[in-house]
Amino acid sequence: MRTVVIGGTGHIGTYLVPELVRLGHEVVVLSRGERSPYQSDGGWNRVQMIQVDRDAEDAAGTFGTRVAELEPEVVIDLICFTEDSARQLAEAVRGKIQHLLHCGTIWVHGASESVPTREDAPRRPFGDYGVQKAAIESYLLDLARRDGFPATVIHPGHITGPGWIPINPAGNLDLGVFERLAHGHDVLLPNLGLETLHHVHAADVAGVFLAAMANRSVAIGESFHAVADGAMTFRGYAHGVATWFGQEARLGFLPFGQWEQHVSQQDYAATRDHIMHSPHCSMEKAARLLGFRPRYTALEATLEAISWLVDNGKIT
């Protein structure tokens, strides 16, 4: 199977691409060539790498044609962020491929209303990222159901794993939160710490893509979540991390408007987005139709990332 992976050197591709090679796929990766996969794997020696600037080629109207000329049977698009970009690709490969798998986001749902949120919940996204991803999903699945276009959409949660910083128990990327928990120091959380985060290990996200490919007949025309089996509250996450470090979590709480005064504007903005979404998504559909169940709990996924940060001197 000739498979083109667009954006294959990032979080998901680090696990997905080597597994595709092991499964016998002839893999072509399109990327900007600005970074290497987060983990080394001998499978990358058998991957054809093509450097490409998708934004520039989308603007020129040439990216979809470039992908089609590679004559793929499967296209996995991990870095599409606008409906126009998705439309250009779909129109170029229409009638020429067996399967297009698009990477979306659980933020297509907007704020959690009924939890765990299922894939068929009404879409009420907010923020440009969620709104654009919801528009892409709507376009691709409508094309699949109306015209038989072989599209599947995978919606990851907060992706984590070794090599990068996970969203912390305060809902942002401040490494100091992990360090304070590691040393048994006070950590201030917004509100009562009962909002939720829904992490997922990048290996499990890759697993959902692989399961959708293996179950193509039921996956086409559908969207699937890619998250751990359960979400974590901010305070539950903090307790889990502190316990891993051999400490008791010393937590304080402030109303969000007051908590804002104790953090940077960047951290405030990130936390605000996560609080407003408070995602908690169901994995029942992936289990029922694809036979997929996540290997990592949300806490296990984040602890693996934190362990890497400790081992590499990112957390003191």
- Report whether 199 contacts 228 (CB < 8 A): yes
Q: How far apart are CA 277 and CA 274, in angstroms?
A: 5
Q: Answer whether 0.75 is exceeded by the pTM.
A: yes
* Gyration radius (Cα) of the chain, Å: 20
DSSP, res 295:
S
- pLDDT level of residue 121 (50, 70, 90 thresholds): very high
Q: How far apart are CA 245 and CA 311, in angstroms?
A: 13
What one-character-per-residue DSSP string does 7-33 give?
TTTSHHHHHHHHHHHHTT-EEEEEE-S
Q: How many CA atoms lie within 13 A of 296 on its CB side?
A: 24
Q: How many residues does the chain have?
A: 316
The answer to whether residue 35 scores a pLDDT higher than 80 is: no
Dihedral sign of CA atoms 120, 124, 128, 132 in order: positive
DSSP, res 252:
E
The answer to whether residue 132 scores a pLDDT higher than 80 is: yes
Mean pLDDT taken over the chain: 97
Please write the tens of the pLDDT for every residue from 201-219. Answer: 999 999 999 999 999 999 9
Please write the tens of the pLDDT for every residue from 41-99. Answer: 899 999 999 999 999 999 999 999 999 999 999 999 999 999 999 999 999 999 999 99
The answer to whether residue 34 scores a pLDDT higher than 80 is: no
